[in-house]
Structure 1
C-alpha cells in the first residue's frame, strides 16, 4: 500500500438517502460513509451521490444476502458501477452547461487535524476539478486505488476488467493527476491568516487590500449554472478578479449577506449566508502566501452540501 498517493475514509457530512433506514447491524450502515465518499468523489455532486446511495441500498435490500461472501466489496462495486453510469450521462449534460462547471461544495466534519489535512488533498475542490479531466473509468480506478487503497485485483473485480488492464489505467490516471495537481499551502496557520485578511477586505470593500492578497496569475471561476447571474468565463488577474468579486458582493440583492469561514471540502474557505441560508461558497488555493485560484460556487442547485454549517 505504500505506493498510494492518498488514503482516507473521509467523514463527510451529508444528508441521508430517503430509502428506508437499514438495521444498525446492516453492513450498509457500517460502510455508508465509505460508499458516500466513493460516490461523491466519482461525481463531484452531493445530490447525485445521495441518489446513488439510495439506489445502492435498494439493490442491497433486494439481493440474496446469503450468496454475498464479502458485503463491503459487493457494496463498493455496486456504488462504483452506479456512479460510473451516472457520470457518463452527466458528462453529456455538462456539454450544454452554462458557464464554468464546478463540483458541489461540501462541509466536512472531523476533529482530527491529520485527517483534515488528508481530506484537503483528496476531496478539495481543486482535486475534484482535476478528476473531471479523467475518463470515467480512469477516475474510478484512481479514486478506488489512491484514495481508498483497494488493490488492483480488487478493483479489477469491481469493474470486471483484467488486473493488468487496471494497473495500466491506474498508472495513466496517477500520472495525469500528478502533472495537473496544483501546489498549495499546507500551513493551516498561514491559510487562517490569509483567510482572515480576505474576509476583512471583502467585508470592507477594500479593493487594494484584496488585490494584495491575490497572486499575479490569479484566476476566478464562477459557477451559476444559468440559475444565478455569474461570469460565464474565467476571470484573470488581481485587478479584474478583485473588482468583479467586490462588485458582486455590493449588489443590492446581497444586502445583509454574512461572510463566514468554514471547512469546505477539507480546506478553510468562505461561505456566504443570507437570511440564514447559504447562498455561495468560495474555495481557493494558497501558494506562497497568495491566493492563486478562486472558485466561486453560487448555483443554488449545488449548495445542499453546505447545510451542515
Structure 2
C-alpha cells in the first residue's frame, strides 16, 4: 500500500518528464505506465531511491521510443509541435512551476536536441540524477554523458525563451489577441505582435495549415483574418490554460479544432504556436476553466 501511494505521488512528475522528452501526451502516459509495470514486476529491494530507479527506467523507455519515432518525425508534413496540454487551472502553488516546465516555446527548444541530449539534460539538470544513472539509461560511459549534458545545456541556454514574463502580463496580451481575433481586427492583431513575430502551425498534412513559418506581424494578421473568413458562423475562440500558461482554444460547433500557445516579452507577442492536427487534439480536456479575467465576446461582436 505504501508503495502504491508513493507511485501515485510520483506519477505527475514522471509524466512531465516523459512529456518533455516525447512531446506527446499518450506516449508519455504509456511510458510512465510501463515504468510502473516494470517496478511491480521486479520489486527491486536494493535501490537507494524509488524515484531515481523509475526516472532511469522511464528515461531509457523514452530514448527507445524516440528512436522509433525518428523516421516518422523526419517525414512529418510542415512544422512539428508538441501535443498541447489543455487543462483546468492548476493549483496556485504549482502554476509558476508548470508554466516554466511545460511552455511550448521551451519544449520546442528541447525537441531540437538529439534524443540522448534531451534525456541526459532533463535527467541531470531537472531531476538531479547522477551521471551513473544517466549512463545506465543511455548505455554510455559517464564521461560521454558529461560531455553530452554539457552540449545540451549550452544549446538550451542559447535557444531558450529570452524573457521572463509574469503570467499577468502574458495573460493580458493573449486575452487582447483573442479579443482582436474575435473582432476580426487585423490592425489590432498586428499591433499586439512584435514586428518580427513568428507563426507556426502544425496540421500534420491532415488539415489546412501553413507548412512553413510565417514571419512578420502584418503577414500573421492577414493570415488570421484570411482564415477567419473561411470558418463557419459557429466558430468561437477563448482564452484557456495551455501548457501551464494562458493560451487560446478555438472551436467549431463546440468541438476543439485548434489550440494556440504564445511566447511574449510582456509588451508584444513574439510567437504564435498553433496545433491543428486533429490527432494531437483528441486527448484535449473539453472541461475547461477559463482564466479568472478571461472573457469571450458575444457572437454578435464576432461578425
TM range (shorter): 0.7 to 0.9
Worse-superposed segment, 144-153 or 44-53: 144-153
Residue 73 of structure 1: how far off its partner (Å)? 2.3
Aligned partner of 1:112 in structure 2 is 92
Aligned partner of 1:279 in structure 2 is 257
Matches within 5 A, 1:53-72: 53-66=32-45, 70-72=49-51
Aligned partner of 1:29 in structure 2 is 8
Aligned partner of 1:133 in structure 2 is 112
Distance 1:181 1:132 in 2: 11
Q: How many residues align?
A: 285
- Is 1:105–1:305's contact at 8 Å kept on the other side of the alignment? no
Distance 2:118 2:111 in 1: 8
Q: Which runs of 4+ in 1 moved over 6 A?
A: none
Q: TM-score, normalised by structure 1?
A: 0.85
Q: List gaps (5 residues or longer) in structure 2.
A: 289-303
Residue 237 of structure 1: how far off its partner (Å)? 1.2
* Partner SS for 1:221: strand
Matches within 5 A, 1:229-308: 229-252=208-231, 254-287=232-265, 289-307=267-285
Residue 185 of structure 1: how far off its partner (Å)? 4.9
Distance 1:182 1:53 in 2: 28
Change in Cα spacing, 1:63 to 1:191, as seen in structure 2 (3 Å) is same
- Is 2:192–2:269's contact at 8 Å kept on the other side of the alignment? yes
Worse-superposed segment, 77-86 or 254-263: 254-263
Change in Cα spacing, 1:139 to 1:228, as seen in structure 2 (3 Å) is same
Q: List gaps (5 residues or longer) in structure 1.
A: 1-22
Residue 69 of structure 1: how far off its partner (Å)? 5.4
Distance 1:196 1:153 in 2: 46
- Is 1:185–1:289's contact at 8 Å kept on the other side of the alignment? no
The answer on 1:198 being equivalent to 2:184 is no
* Partner SS for 1:99: coil
Residue 258 of structure 1: how far off its partner (Å)? 2.2
Deviations 1:76-97, CA, capped at 9 Å, x for gaps: 1221111111111212211111
Aligned partner of 1:152 in structure 2 is 131
Distance 2:2 2:223 in 1: 50
Deviations 1:100-154, CA, capped at 9 Å, x for gaps: 11111113552235x4223322211111111111111110011112222323344
Q: TM-score, normalised by structure 2?
A: 0.86
